[in-house]
C-alpha cells in the first residue's frame, strides 16, 4: 500500500481535532477533552520547545562558522534584515488599507460608537493619561473597572485578561531603548530558560560564532565540529518527534478549540458574530500575504524556482504546526527541517535566516496589529489622521519585531501601538475572546514569511558559495 505523506496525515489530524472539539462542545465532553486529550498536545509543544532553544543556539553558531568570514555574514545579515523589514512594511500597509476599505469598527451602530467615544473621553480625562502630540505620554491601564466598562468583560474573574494587562503595564513602564538593552543577555543560562528570551540566545550565538571564525582555524575547529554535531543530533530529535505529529496535532487542536468553545458552542458563535468583520478583515489580509504577496516575491526574486504548489506542499508541515501551536518558536525545528530537507536550501542559509526570522519577522502579527488598532479606533468613533497612520506603521513594525514567538505575544505588544497613538491600551481586552484563532492564523503567515525570505536570501547568495 502506498504510504500517506506526512503533510496529509497532519491535515487529517487537524481536521479530526476540529471535529472532535465540535462534538465535545455538543455532547459536553469538554472536561474529558481537557483532561485526557489536550495533555498530549502539551507534551508535543514541550518537546518542540525543549528542542527549539538549543537548536537556535547551535544552528546559528554552525551557520555563522560555515560562512567562514565576517564580511559574508554582514552581507547575508543585511539582506535578511532588509527583507524582513520590507515584508513587514508590506504587511502593515495591507492591514491598514484593508481596514480603511472595510471599516470593520464602523459596523457598530452610530449610537454605540458615540457611547464608546464618551467612555474614551472620560478615560482620557480621568486616567493619568497625558496625550501630547498624538502620543500617550503616561497611560493608566491598571484600572480594572474601566477595562470592564470598556470591554464588557469582568476582569477580576478573568485571570488571563488580568495577566495580559499586567504584562502590558510592565511593558509601558520601560523607556524607548529598553528593547535594545533586552537584546543583550546577562547570562546565557538565564536566556535559555525562557522561550521569550530567544533574541538573547540569538545575540549570544552570533557573537560566539563571530568569535570562533576570528580564531586560528586549528584552535576553533574542535568547537566548530562539536557544535555541528550537536546540531545534527537535535535535528534528528525533531525527525523522531515529528513521527507522532499527526496524533499530537489532533490532540492539540481538539484541546485548543474545545477550550475556546467550552460546553456551549452558541456562546462562541455569538462572540465570533460580534467581532466577525474585524476577524474577516485580518483573515483577508493574511490570505493576501500567503496567496499574492509571497508568490509574487518568490517569482520576482527566485524566478519561481520551486513552483508554488510544490513550495507550499514542502512547507505545509511547518504551516500546520504553526496553526495548531500558535508559536513560531515551537515550530522552528520543523521549519528548519522542511526548508533544508524539502526545499533543499543549504543549512548555511537556513541556520542563519530562520532562527532570526522566527524571533523578529512577524508579518502576520504586524498586519493584525494594524487592523486591530484601526478597528478599535473606529469602534470608539475616533478618526485617525495621516500622522497617526504613519505612527501605526512604525510602531506595528517595531511591536512585531519585539513580540516573542509564543502564543498571544502579538496581543500584548499591541499595547505599544495603541499607546503610541493615544488610544486606551486596555482595549486589548475587547479583542481577547477571539484572539486565539487569529493568533493561530497569523502564526502561519509569520512562519511562511520566514521561509520565503530564506529562499530569496539563498538565491541571492547562490553564486557566492554560501
Stretch of residues binding ligand ASP (CB under 6 A), selected from 33-41, 53-61, 224-232, 404-412: 404-412
Residues of span 319-348 touching ligand ASP by CB under 6 A: 326-328
Q: How far is the CB of 462 from ligand ASP (least distance, A)?
A: 28
Q: What are the CA-CA distances from residue 336 to residues 115, 232, 333, 358 (Å)?
A: 50, 12, 5, 10
CA distance 296 to 289: 10
Give the nearer residue to ligand ASP in terms of CB position, either 66 or 403: 403
Helices 276-288 & 435-461 angle (0-180, nearest 10)? 10
Q: How far is the CB of 295 from ligand ASP (least distance, A)?
A: 21
Among 282, 321, 336, 406, binds ligand ASP (CB under 6 A): 406
CA distance 74 to 70: 6
Give the nearer residue to ligand ASP in terms of CB position, either 424 or 441: 441
Q: How far is the CB of 452 from ligand ASP (least distance, A)?
A: 15
Give the nearer residue to ligand ASP in terms of CB position, either 65 or 443: 443
Give the nearer residue to ligand ASP in terms of CB position, either 340 or 403: 403
Among 298, 398, 405, 456, binds ligand ASP (CB under 6 A): 405
Q: How far is the CB of 324 from ligand ASP (least distance, A)?
A: 12
Query: Which residues sit opposite 132 in a β-bridge?
Result: 135
Residue nearest ligand ASP, CB atom distance: 410
443 binds ligand ASP (CB under 6 A): yes
359 binds ligand ASP (CB under 6 A): no
Give the nearer residue to ligand ASP in terms of CB position, either 66 or 419: 419
Among 24, 348, 378, 403, binds ligand ASP (CB under 6 A): 403
The answer to whether residues 369 and 414 touch, using CB atoms and an 8 Å cutoff, is: yes
Backbone angles phi, psi at 130, to 5 degrees: -120, 120
Close Cβ partners of 346 (under 8 Å, ≥ 6 residues apart): 340, 458, 466
The answer to whether residues 116 and 379 touch, using CB atoms and an 8 Å cutoff, is: yes
87 binds ligand ASP (CB under 6 A): no
Stretch of residues binding ligand ASP (CB under 6 A), selected from 64-72, 103-111, 123-131, 438-446: 438-446
Number of residues located near ligand ASP, criterion CB under 6 A: 16
What is the torsion angle, in degrees rounded to the nearest 10, for the CA atoms of residue 96, residue 101, residue 102 and residue 108?
90
Q: How far is the CB of 246 from ligand ASP (least distance, A)?
A: 22
Query: Which residues sit opposite 376 in a β-bridge?
Result: none
CA distance 415 to 429: 11
442 binds ligand ASP (CB under 6 A): yes
Q: How far is the CB of 260 from ligand ASP (least distance, A)?
A: 15
91 binds ligand ASP (CB under 6 A): no
Give the nearer residue to ligand ASP in terms of CB position, either 161 or 409: 409
Residues of span 408-437 touching ligand ASP by CB under 6 A: 408-410
The angle formed by the CA atoms of residues 370, 372 and 377, to the nearest 5 degrees, is 100
Give the nearer residue to ligand ASP in terms of CB position, either 316 or 441: 441
Backbone angles phi, psi at 44, to 5 degrees: -60, -50
- The cell for 374 is 484601526
Q: Is the dihedral of CA 308, 310, 316, 319 positive or negative?
A: negative
Close Cβ partners of 2 (under 8 Å, ≥ 6 residues apart): none
362 binds ligand ASP (CB under 6 A): yes
Q: How far is the CB of 104 from ligand ASP (least distance, A)?
A: 18
365 binds ligand ASP (CB under 6 A): yes
Residue 131 parent element (H or E)? strand 130-132
57 binds ligand ASP (CB under 6 A): no
The answer to whether residues 402 and 179 touch, using CB atoms and an 8 Å cutoff, is: yes
**If you compute the radius of gyration of the chain from its CA atoms, what whole number of angstroms results?**
22
Which residue has 548555511 as its cell numbers?
Answer: 348
**What is the contact surface with ligand ASP in residues (CB under 6 A)?**
326-328, 362, 365, 403, 405-410, 439, 442-443, 446
Amino acid at each position: 500500500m502506498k504510504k500517506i505523506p506526512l503533510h496529509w496525515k497532519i491535515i487529517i489530524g487537524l481536521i479530526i481535532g476540529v471535529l472532535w472539539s465540535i462534538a465535545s462542545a455538543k455532547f459536553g465532553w469538554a472536561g474529558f477533552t481537557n483532561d485526557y486529550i489536550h495533555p498530549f498536545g502539551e507534551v508535543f509543544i514541550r518537546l518542540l520547545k525543549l528542542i527549539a532553544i538549543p537548536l537556535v543556539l547551535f544552528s546559528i553558531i554552525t551557520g555563522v562558522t560555515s560562512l567562514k568570514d565576517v564580511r559574508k555574514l554582514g552581507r547575508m545579515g543585511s539582506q535578511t534584515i532588509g527583507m524582513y523589514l520590507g515584508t513587514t512594511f508590506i504587511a502593515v500597509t495591507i492591514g491598514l488599507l484593508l481596514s480603511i476599505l472595510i471599516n470593520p469598527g464602523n459596523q457598530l451602530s452610530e449610537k454605540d460608537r458615540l457611547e464608546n467615544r464618551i467612555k474614551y473621553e472620560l478615560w482620557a480625562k480621568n486616567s493619568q493619561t497625558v496625550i501630547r502630540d498624538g502620543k500617550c505620554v503616561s497611560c493608566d491601564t491598571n484600572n480594572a473597572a474601566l477595562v470592564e466598562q470598556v470591554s464588557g468583560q469582568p476582569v477580576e474573574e478573568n485571570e488571563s485578561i488580568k495577566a495580559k494587562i499586567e504584562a502590558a503595564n510592565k511593558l509601558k513602564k520601560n523607556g524607548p531603548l529598553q528593547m535594545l538593552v533586552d537584546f543583550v543577555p546577562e547570562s546565557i543560562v538565564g536566556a535559555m530558560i525562557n522561550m521569550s528570551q530567544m533574541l538573547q540566545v540569538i545575540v549570544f550565538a552570533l557573537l560566539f560564532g563571530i568569535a570562533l571564525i576570528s580564531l586560528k582555524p586549528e584552535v576553533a575547529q574542535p568547537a566548530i565540529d562539536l557544535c555541528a554535531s550537536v546540531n545534527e543530533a537535535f535535528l534528528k530529535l525533531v525527525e523522531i518527534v515529528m513521527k507522532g505529529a499527526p496524533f499530537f496535532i489532533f490532540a492539540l487542536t481538539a484541546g485548543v478549540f474545545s477550550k475556546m468553545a467550552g460546553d456551549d458552542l452558541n456562546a462562541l458563535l455569538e462572540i465570533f458574530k460580534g467581532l466577525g468583520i474585524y476577524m474577516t478583515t485580518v483573515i483577508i489580509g493574511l490570505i493576501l500575504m500567503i496567496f499574492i504577496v509571497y508568490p509574487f516575491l518568490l517569482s520576482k526574486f527566485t524566478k519561481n524556482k520551486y513552483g508554488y504548489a510544490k513550495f507550499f506542499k514542502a512547507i505545509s508541515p511547518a504551516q500546520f504546526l504553526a496553526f495548531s501551536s500558535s508559536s513560531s518558536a515551537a515550530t522552528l525545528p520543523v521549519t528548519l527541517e522542511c526548508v533544508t530537507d524539502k526545499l533543499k536550501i543549504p543549512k548555511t542559509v537556513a541556520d542563519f535566516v530562520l532562527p532570526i526570522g522566527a524571533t523578529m519577522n512577524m508579518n502576520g502579527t504586524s498586519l493584525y496589529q494594524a487592523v486591530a488598532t484601526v478597528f478599535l479606533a473606529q469602534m470608539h468613533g475616533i478618526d485617525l489622521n495621516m500622522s497617526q497612520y504613519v505612527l501605526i506603521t512604525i510602531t506595528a513594525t517595531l511591536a512585531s519585531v519585539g513580540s516573542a514567538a509564543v502564543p498571544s505575544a502579538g496581543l500584548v505588544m499591541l499595547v505599544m501601538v495603541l499607546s503610541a497613538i493615544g488610544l486606551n491600551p486596555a482595549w486589548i481586552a475587547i479583542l481577547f475572546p477571539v484572539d486565539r484563532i487569529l493568533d493561530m492564523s497569523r502564526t502561519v503567515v509569520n512562519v511562511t514569511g520566514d521561509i520565503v525570505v530564506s529562499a530569496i536570501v539563498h538565491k541571492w547568495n547562490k553564486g557566492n558559495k554560501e
